Structure 1
């Protein structure tokens, strides 16, 4: 049977700051992110299966992405934990703000790599992550493709 790609789109609001950056993004600011998740697989061919004809139930894909990405990053402020922003992060956290400290500079490029790793861990074995597109603004986005990262998929 043919391989089919399906895509589900998500949106969330996240703040961040790029420590050491030489432009405005060194300041704390936020984005209305749009994330497109594309997986590839063959549709289920057993007619007795309730998911007959589906590669993966969109609802099942939604649960994975919401649990791993959207519910974690939505209305959070993300800082690289290896920068002096940790002081600001602690202050915000002490005041009840949702703060995430990550091992990377929280650019769209690095976030999409992180998201790919998190999503892949939870996909059924017969479904592969094909690509991610993380849109930061209407005109700016980062894309991750499995075919470009085969060495990193293990």
Structure 2
């Protein structure tokens, strides 16, 4: 695994958990502006998911590390991202499988799971590296339009 120092999201929660993992996937960006990326190509994506909260669950976890990896790895590893029409859409630029949209989607999938837990932690950041020199940081806004600060 790539040893990496990630940007720190600002928040006032007591606990912060970070999970690193990677998955291999292909995609293409259905836009003429994408240049060569219009063609099917693949990446080994490196992800860091940051979850924060104030309460631990019945097992003493904020969230089990393995669950975070499983949610994303089982869904996206060795797939063509464009085929996941629940997550991506070739008609809507806000849902093309770009690095930005994949990072947001990872966050949304993790948060959807977290919303069903008793201790209700929050996914505060997803760092997604697509290539050795290109990555995206996604930080969702809290309800009311404010970031996790």
Q: TM-score, normalised by structure 2?
A: 0.71
**1-structure distance, mates of 2:98, 2:26:** 11
RMSD of equivalent CA atoms: 2.4
Distance 1:65 1:40, change over 3 A: same
Equivalence for 1:35: 47
1:24 to 2:8 alignment: no
1:7 to 2:11 alignment: no
Q: Secondary structure of 1:36's match?
A: strand
CA drift at 1:77: 0.8
Equivalence for 1:142: 136
Counting matched residue pairs gives 122
CA drift at 1:152: 8.4
Does structure 2 conserve the Cα–Cα contact (< 8 Å) formed by 1:65 and 1:119? no
Does structure 2 conserve the Cα–Cα contact (< 8 Å) formed by 1:120 and 1:129? yes
Pair member with larger Rg: 1
Higher strand content, 1 or 2: 1
CA drift at 1:18: 0.9
**1-structure distance, mates of 2:130, 2:55:** 32
**2-structure distance, mates of 1:120, 1:44:** 16
For structure 2, the residue ranges without an aligned partner over 5 or more in a row are 1-12, 90-94
CA drift at 1:44: 4.0
Distance 1:141 1:55, change over 3 A: same
Q: TM-score, normalised by structure 1?
A: 0.69
Equivalence for 1:113: 104
CA drift at 1:21: 3.1
Does structure 1 conserve the Cα–Cα contact (< 8 Å) formed by 2:55 and 2:121? no
Q: 55, 62, 84: which one pairs with 1:100?
A: 84
